[in-house]
Amino acid sequence: MVILISLLALVCTLLGGCFALKFRDRLHLILGFSAGAVIGVAFFDLLPEAIELGTKTYLGSTVTSVVALGFIVFMLLDRLVIFHSHSHEDEHEHEHTESRGKLGAGSLSIHSFLDGLAIGLAFQVSASVGTVVAIAVLVHDFSDGINTVSLILKNNGNKKQAFSWLALDAIAPVLGAASTLLFTVPENVLGLILATFCGFFIYIGASDLLPESHHAHPTIWTTFMTVLGAAVLFVAIKLAGI
């Protein structure tokens, strides 16, 4: 099941990249939905599960502190290493832009590997938790494909280079998920790992996807799509019995 879902993540990433090439004028709606879905899975699934597992060993304040730590760590990586598409739009210098695009696409591929890792670890908790995390990752991987292609094309790359980086980004979650078949993690450690991913997802949704979805577009429809994304994940989690 883990490998099958990771293969679906591969397909979603490829579809997102192809979508970016064909329907750029509708990307804000997809990104708005993605933001709501990713934030929804953080608050409605990962956080409650992290607290339930983590508090068997640690204080609740420790678990929530790990959530904050995950948020801060991802923010530092974003500011110091990762060059997302929105960070380039205000740059006026063109020197070395192609290498910056490759760095950004490479960092997204690493993030996709972590997405696959999250799927595998979530399935170690339970099938229901794994399914809900997988849904959020699949939605997010679609936007990852969009961002990967956009980064390369915005930084003087050509379509061939964009597809090459898209392929790498697409295979990364499969490798991440497959790696979790080689080891198991104790419940108390899983609780802290899920808390860390919760912080990651909150940052990705609130600081990356959401601002990008509103960029140069009216906010009414993107806001609607964000609320819809969160609502869909809330219903999915309830139906899964979490």
The domain locations on the chain are: 2-239
Task: Round to whole Å and give the CA distance between 197 and 126.
Answer: 16
Q: Across residues 82-103, what is the average pLDDT?
A: 51
Contact between residue 217 and residue 83 where contact means Cβ atoms under 8 Å apart: no
Summarize pLDDT for 92-102 with one digit per residue, the tens: 444 445 565 66
Residue 3 burial by CB count (10 A; 0-12/13-18/19+): exposed, middle or buried? Answer: middle
Q: Using CA atoms, how far apart are residues 242 and 132, in angstroms rounded to an integer?
A: 9
- Higher per-residue confidence, 1 vs 60: 60
What is the model's pLDDT at position 96?
46
Q: Which of 101-110, 127-136, 157-166, 171-180 is the most confident on average?
A: 171-180
Place of tokens 């819809």: 228
pLDDT tens digits, 205-242: 787 667 766 665 667 888 888 888 888 878 877 776 55
Q: How far apart are CA 104 and CA 82, in angstroms?
A: 6
Banded pLDDT at 35 (limits 50, 70, 90): confident
138 contacts 236 by C-beta, under 8 angstroms: no
Both tokens assigned to 63:
């678990």
What residues have CB less than 8 Å from 1, skipping those under 6 apart? 123, 127, 130
**pLDDT at res. 93:** 46
Torsion sign over Cα 181, 242, 16, 89: negative
